[in-house]
Structure 1
Amino acid sequence: MIDLVIFDADGVLFDSVEANIAYYNAIFSAIGEPALSPIEEREGIYYATIQMFERRAGGDPAKLARMKEVARGLDSARFFAMLRPPFDLRPFMLELRQRYRLALATNRSTTVFALVEHLGLAEIFEAVASVFDRVRPKPAPDMLELCLRRAKVEPDRAVYVGDSPIDREAALAAGIRFIGVGDRVEHDQRIGGLGELPARLEALFASAGQRKATSSSR
């Protein structure tokens, strides 16, 4: 049985490619750094900001400090305006919440609560965990485990919905089921987009119930 559905943010609830590129390029431009490379553009979708900064700084603490300083002064609203949800998220999530408890686990940090407000999902999630909680970013399982503790749910009664290999790795390390979204991640439980999630959850729910019934009859 599935009690808790934990969502990643970027790449699951919305397409953030344009927003992420604009965000990092604004910071790098301000300190005289070149724009994101094509590889960095892909990594920026799922790596935590501090991971992106550290990789670009290359061990230079002064450069890392400048990146953090510029980031603190940026207005998140201009980048939130570039996010592209697949549809109106609020009614979808309210409908889903009638069947499951919902949580959010993202490698975002200081922007996470403003982001949830921007999306109109402030009261939707029972638990929210992010790098802002001073836990290791994914692929470490820390923030998923934090969601489980905050929601008081056992790992075998939860599922994580993510779009990247690091999401899949985090779910595996936390001992919870995983559903992949889109073509950036390979998994036997993979859907093309968020709209397919309710049907996939129902299938998982039925499968888990069938296994339990089979086990009980032995």
Structure 2
Amino acid sequence: MTNSKTRLQSVMNFIKLAEQQANRPPGLVKLLAVSKTWPASRLRELAEAGQTRFGENYLQEALQKIAELADLNLEWHFIGPVQSNKTRDIAANFDWVESVDRLKIAQRLSDQRPTEKPPLNICLQVNIDDEASKAGVHPDGLMELAAAVSQLKNVRLRGLMIIPAIAETVEQQLDAFGRAQQLYSQLKTAHSSVDTLSMGMSADMQAAISQGSSMVRIGTALFGERHTPNKQ
């Protein structure tokens, strides 16, 4: 517990300092703990230290943790690629989906969201560097997709998520995050529900925060070096 609490406090201090250096209001940037491959016991330690938001990439692994940690008031984000045959379980068990890049997926999530639950929070994943190896809507197609998603009944458009290309310099990081921030500003102007720009990980969160990120997705800095993933 002590190690988890120390790691969490260190990350929160880093975020606070990055906000100050960027002249941004304190407490604006939210921390999403990326917990894929880590056991529920490690998540519980972080939760007991004060962390409430957790991001998972692999559905079956996540469902086991959600069930095991059901006694805690946690917010669950799905951040991995969304396959059509998994939308029902995602819609039923998560609070957020940050990796929507097709209208078909958004429609299925809306149709399959249980009626007793509030609308599912959606971030659109943008392939900011147009990488063939990565999912995400092309920047040119963002506004059209957002307009369609915003009309769906049981989802709520909240913003953007990006995973930029690996950068060799801080300048490259800033360039990608800056382009994402411009897209986010356009989206926010068009849709009043938009309030979230999810970008930045352990190695680049300072650059992301300086360019307007409102949610950083942190794994290594909170948990240590990642286990070999068991994808499901």
TM-score, normalisation: structure 1: 0.30
Higher helix residue share: 1
Please identify the structure whose Cα radius of gyration is greater: 1
Larger relative strand fraction: 2
Q: TM-score, normalised by structure 2?
A: 0.29
Q: Tell which has more relative contact order, 1 or 2 (C-alpha 8 A, sep 6+).
A: 1
